Each structure stands twice: as structure tokens, then as C-alpha cells.
Amino acid sequence: MAIKLEIVGLKDQECSPFPCDDDRSCGLTECYPTGKFVPAFHALQKKLKEEYGDKIEINLTLIDEVVPIHIQKILETYYPPLPIILINGELAKIGSLSLNRIHEKLQINSI
């Protein structure tokens, strides 16, 4: 069974609270230097699909116009920063599209 990774955010937001830098400490290169959420999501998706293939399902949820009920409940309960990262429906406290930090959480869930 595939691990479900859901990335939640706003279409025009930054991908991280930190500026995009030359070192790309987030581990993503294809989205540099935009620093934008949607290009970073696509770069993350490509990297994770290359590494995990069918063992992972990656979805983007934009909340600019409609916030799904399951995301509303998370926002009301935990007040997490955007972007929100969910692994199998559970909040992963990461707060940025960082390949390295997401990879660590996926290892914990042992793909």
C-alpha cells in the first residue's frame, strides 16, 4: 500500500519561511530561484517519484478558494504554518517544502 503525501498551501505563497538560496538547503533544484510553492511542489513530486515510484502517492491541495473539511480540522486544532504536510492523513510538523525533512519523515514511516 502506497504512503499518501498531501501538500497543502496557497497558489502564490512561498515554499518556505526561508528565502530560496544558492545552496538550496531544501534539496530541490528545479524550482530555484522562484521560491514559489507550486513549482517547489512539482520539483518535490518529481524527486520523490524517482526515489519511491508507486510506493508513494503525492497530492497537491490548494486552499485559495476552498478549504477541505479535513484541512479545516487540522487548521483549527494545530494552527500549523503553511505549507502543511500530511503523511497518511497525519500532520507532519515540517512547515516547508524541504526534500530532506520530508524524506526523514517518510523514513520514519518506513516505505
Per-chain mean pLDDT for the chain:
90
Note the pTM of the prediction, 2 decimals.
0.91
pLDDT at 110: 63
pLDDT at 96: 87
Mean pLDDT value of segment 30-48:
91
Domains in the chain, number? 1
pLDDT at 11: 95
pLDDT of residue 5 exceeding 90, the answer is yes
How far apart are alpha carbons 41 and 59 in whole angstroms? 9
Q: What is the CATH number of the domain that holds 12?
A: 3.40.30.30
pLDDT of residue 23 exceeding 70, the answer is no
Mean pLDDT value of segment 88-93:
94
Per mean pLDDT, which range of 10-14, 16-20, 30-34, 80-84 is the poorest? 16-20
pLDDT of residue 22 exceeding 80, the answer is no
Mean pLDDT value of segment 96-109:
86
For residue 51, the enclosing domain spans 3-108
Query: What SS3 string covers the chain?
Result: CCEEEEEEECCCCECCCCCCCCCCCCCCCCCCCCCEHHHHHHHHHHHHHHHHHHHEEEEEEECCCCCCHHHHHHHHHHCCCCCEEEECCEEECCCCCCHHHHHHHHHHCCC
